[in-house]
C-alpha cells in the first residue's frame, strides 16, 4: 500500500469519507456473538447507531454496552417481536436505515432422509421466515423515507448444497432468492437496496455444534485452504450497507476463499 502521507489533503479527506455511516441507524439480528457481533462493531466503528437484536438478553446487552448501542431482545420467528423490535429501535435511535439479517442456525447435521419435519421446519423458521419478517417490517419505512440498505447473510451452502446440512442449505437458498426478488421489486423506488452475502465456512462458535466431518468437508472445498474471519465478513457487509453501494441490488456476493463456482 502506498504511503498516504504524500497524498493531497483533499484526496485523503475523500477517502476517509468512503463508507461513512454517521447519522444512520442499523439493526443487526443475531448480533449477540460471532459474525453478528463483528458486523455490529464494524458498523458502529463507521459511525452508525447500532441496535443488537438477539434472543439471549445477556448476550445482546453485553455487545450493546460495549458498542454504546441498543439491546433488543426477541424471537426472530415472531411477527410481533420483530415489529416491536423495529418500533423500539426507531423510538430510541431514529429511523432505521440499515438492516442486516444475520440470525441463523445450522440445525442437526445428518443425512436428509434421516431428518424429521421438525428438524427441517425449525431451521427454516429462523433462517428464512425470520429474514422475511424483518424485511417486511423494515421496508415500508425505508420506502417512505426514500433510503435504506438491507444485507442478508446467506451461505455458500445455499448455492451448492452441503451434505448433511439439507435444511440449512435449502433455507439459505431461500434467502438468496428472497434477496433477488426484493431487490427487483424495490429497484427504482428510491435508494433502497437489498443484497446478500454467501460466506463459506467462517471460524465462529457455530462450528463447535457441527459434526467434525462436515466442517472438514467444507474447509476442504476452499481453495485458500482456511476458514474466513469475522472481520472479513464484516468488511463486505459494511460496503453493501453504505451509501456508495447505490447501484448494487438483488445480488449475492460470495466470500468463500475461491470456493464459489458461479
Are 122 and 105 a contacting pair, CB within 8 Å? yes
Residue 133, all three cell numbers? 419478517
Measured between alpha carbons, how far is 254 from 108 in angstroms, rounded to an integer? 24
Question: Which residues are marked as active site?
Answer: 168
69 closest CA partner among 87, 100, 47, 101:
47
Beta carbons within 10 angstroms of residue 251's beta carbon: 16
Tell me which long-range contacts 120-124 makes (C-beta under 8 A, separation of at least 24).
120/166, 120/167, 120/170, 122/167, 123/167, 123/168, 123/171, 124/167, 124/170, 124/171, 124/174
Are 190 and 213 a contacting pair, CB within 8 Å? no
27 closest CA partner among 84, 79, 107:
84
Measured between alpha carbons, how far is 69 from 75 in angstroms, rounded to an integer? 19
Q: Residue 138, class by beta-carbon neighbours within 10 Å (0-12 exposed, 13-18 middle, 19+ buried)?
A: buried
Measured between alpha carbons, how far is 216 from 194 in angstroms, rounded to an integer? 32
Amino acid at each position: 500500500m502506498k504511503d498516504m502521507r504524500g497524498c493531497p489533503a483533499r484526496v485523503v479527506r475523500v477517502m476517509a469519507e468512503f463508507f461513512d455511516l454517521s447519522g444512520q441507524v442499523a439493526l443487526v439480528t443475531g448480533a449477540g456473538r460471532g459474525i453478528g457481533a463483528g458486523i455490529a462493531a464494524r458498523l458502529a466503528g463507521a459511525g452508525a447507531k447500532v441496535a443488537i437484536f438477539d434472543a439471549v438478553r445477556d448476550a445482546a446487552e453485553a455487545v450493546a454496552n460495549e458498542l454504546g448501542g441498543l439491546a433488543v431482545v426477541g424471537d426472530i420467528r415472531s411477527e410481533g417481536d420483530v415489529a416491536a423490535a423495529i418500533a423500539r429501535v426507531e423510538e430510541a435511535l431514529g429511523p432505521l436505515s440499515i438492516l442486516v439479517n444475520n440470525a441463523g442456525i445450522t440445525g442437526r447435521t445428518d443425512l436428509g432422509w434421516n431428518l424429521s419435519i421438525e428438524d427441517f421446519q425449525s431451521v427454516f423458521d429462523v433462517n428464512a421466515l425470520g429474514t422475511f419478517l424483518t424485511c417486511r417490517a423494515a421496508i415500508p419505512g425505508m420506502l417512505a423515507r426514500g433510503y435504506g440498505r438491507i444485507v442478508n447473510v446467506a451461505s455458500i451452502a445455499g448455492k451448492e448444497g452441503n451434505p448433511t446440512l439439507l435444511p440449512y442449505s435449502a433455507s439459505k437458498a431461500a434467502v438468496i432468492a428472497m434477496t433477488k426478488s426484493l431487490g427487483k421489486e424495490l429497484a427504482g423506488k428510491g435508494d433502497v437496496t437489498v443484497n446478500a452475502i454467501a460466506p463459506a465456512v467462517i471460524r465462529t462458535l457455530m462450528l463447535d455444534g457441527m459434526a467434525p466431518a462436515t466442517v472438514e468437508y467444507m474447509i476442504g472445498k476452499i481453495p485458500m485452504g482456511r476458514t474466513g474471519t469475522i472481520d472479513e465478513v464484516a468488511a463486505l457487509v459494511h460496503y453493501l450497507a453504505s451509501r456508495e453501494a447505490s447501484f448494487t441490488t438483488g445480488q449475492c456476493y460470495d466470500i468463500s476463499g475461491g470456493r464459489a463456482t458461479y
